[in-house]
Amino acid sequence: MSQPSEQRAPALEVRHLSVDIASSHGDVHAVRDVSFRVERGQTLCIVGESGCGKSMTSLAVMDLLPAAARRRAEVLRVGEHDLARADRRTVNALRGERMAMIFQEPMTALNPSLTIGAQMVEAHRHHRGSSAAQARERAVHLLERVGIASAAQRLGQYPHQLSGGLRQRVMIAMALMCEPDVLIADEPTTALDVTIQAQILRLLMDLQRETGVAIVLVTHDLGVVARVAHKVAVMYAGRIVEEGPTAEVFGRPRHPYTRGLLGCIPVPGRVAPGGHLGIIRGTVPALVGELRGCTFRERCDAARPTCAHDDPPRRSGAAGHAWSCILEEEEAVS
């Protein structure tokens, strides 16, 4: 789904982002040389298993990393604002205003001792200097927009008085208070029931159509990716191993890891009763110390001797589809 907005500056551009976390065993390279861009009105899904660094990436963009983590990036831009070398005040001014984030657990992500209303209006009042009444009005409007009935009453309630789905809607409404250009969602539906998941995703898509906000959605659920993503980036061991338009990547997966992931999805009829479900053998390696070659090689059926010391070359296919693997295009398709 190519957009004519390729000529305009992307809503979010990240180039060569790395995050190292200090630990007693040495530096853990949680995110290694990650680059991506998201255009206005587009949704990019970063997908991968637990520990692949996708959450760290989203936190790194928002500068919400834990104290022991260090971030490096060549380019980290939201619209025209350069975040890579910005000082604390600039970053704070942009957070909540140009870029917003919603988290996985709406119960713990909301302050239990403040009302919904209080939490919703504070960012707006701080960034836009609005009056209490103005901010309230906007809050009510947004709560209604995300589908919460009796919005005015909800403002006076506390988070524990709402259900999980409602809380997540509140989080979304709260994130949109200042009309951000970029919305980063870290596993927003993982903690919710399946039916509620669908509603929330649909809500996000509607809001995107209306406001043109760019969404970066981090998830481990391929179903979510299929449903909402224009582009997908597959992360493994801190690196993006494959990326491109969703249809392309899902239809013609090139990297062995992507193929493995897609093969893990149980499809009724594909495997005969009594047969084996797809797995990827092995485990994710520890990302400490010097890492050479392809980190997937231990679990890859098609691994070659060169994979142990040479970084896999970057290959590209149709419509911006790219992946890092030594296998030639023909070899990859099997």
Partner 1 sequence: MTRYLLGRVALALLVALAVSALAFLVLRLSGDVALAIAGEGASEADLQLIRASYGLDRPLPVQYLAWLWQTLRGDFGSSLYFKVPVSELVLQKLPTTMLLGLSALCFGLLLAVPLGVAAALWRDSWVDRLAMGITVVAQALPTFFVALVLIMVFAVWARWLPVSGSGSWLHFVMPTIALGYYVMPPFMRLIRSNMIEVLSADYVRTARAKGLPTAAVVLRHALRNAIVPVVGLAAVQLGFLLGGSVVIESVFALDGLGYLAFRSISYKDFPVLQTIVLLLSLLYVALTTLSDIANVWLDPRLRSA
Partner 2 sequence: MTTTLASSPSSSPAAQSVDVAPSRRAQLWARARRHRPFMLGLALLGAIVLLAVAGPFFYGHDPYAQDLTRRAVPPVWYARGSWAHVLGTDALGRDYLARLLHGGRVSLLISLAVVLISGSIGTTLGVLAGYFAGRVDLAITFVITASLAMPSILIALVIVSMVGSSLTVVILVLGLLMWIRFAVVTRTATQQIRALDYVAAAQAVGASRWRIIFGEVLPNVMPQVIVVATLEAASAIMVEAALSFLGLGVQPPTPSWGLMIAEARSYMFFSFWLIAIPGIALGLLALAINLVGDGLRDLFAAGSRN
Contact of 262 with 253, CB cutoff 8 Å: yes
Contact residues for 225 (Cβ-Cβ < 8 A; gap 6+): 45, 47, 219, 232, 246, 250
Phi, psi of 94 (to 5 degrees): -80, -35
Nearest to 299 by CA among 268, 331, 257, 265: 257
User: Nearest approach, Cβ of 26 to partner 1 (angstroms)?
Assistant: 20
User: Nearest approach, Cβ of 109 to partner 1 (angstroms)?
Assistant: 5
Nearest 5°: CA angle at 104, between 33 and 149?
135
Contact residues for 182 (Cβ-Cβ < 8 A; gap 6+): 11, 12, 38, 78, 98, 99, 100, 213, 214, 215, 216
- 288 binding partner (options partner 2, partner 1, none; Cβ < 5 to 8 Å by kind): partner 2
User: Nearest approach, Cβ of 237 to partner 2 (angstroms)?
Assistant: 10
CB-wise, 91 or 226, nearer to partner 1? Answer: 91
CB-wise, 93 or 303, nearer to partner 2? Answer: 303
User: Nearest approach, Cβ of 228 to partner 1 (angstroms)?
Assistant: 21
Query: What residue ranges bind partner 2 (CB under 8 A)?
Result: 25, 281-286, 288, 298-299
Distances (CA, A) of 215 to 142, 161, 183, 185, 186: 18, 28, 5, 7, 11
- 161 binding partner (options partner 1, partner 2, none; Cβ < 5 to 8 Å by kind): partner 1
Distance of CA 93 to the CA centre of its chain: 22
- 176 binding partner (options partner 1, partner 2, none; Cβ < 5 to 8 Å by kind): none
- 62 binding partner (options partner 1, partner 2, none; Cβ < 5 to 8 Å by kind): partner 1
CB-wise, 68 or 319, nearer to partner 2? Answer: 68
User: Nearest approach, Cβ of 306 to partner 1 (angstroms)?
Assistant: 42
Query: What residue ranges bind partner 1 (CB under 8 A)?
Result: 62, 64, 91-97, 100-101, 103, 105, 108-114, 122-123, 126-127, 158, 160-161, 171, 174
Contact residues for 246 (Cβ-Cβ < 8 A; gap 6+): 45, 225, 226, 229, 230, 231, 232
CB-wise, 58 or 295, nearer to partner 1? Answer: 58
User: Nearest approach, Cβ of 101 to partner 1 (angstroms)?
Assistant: 5
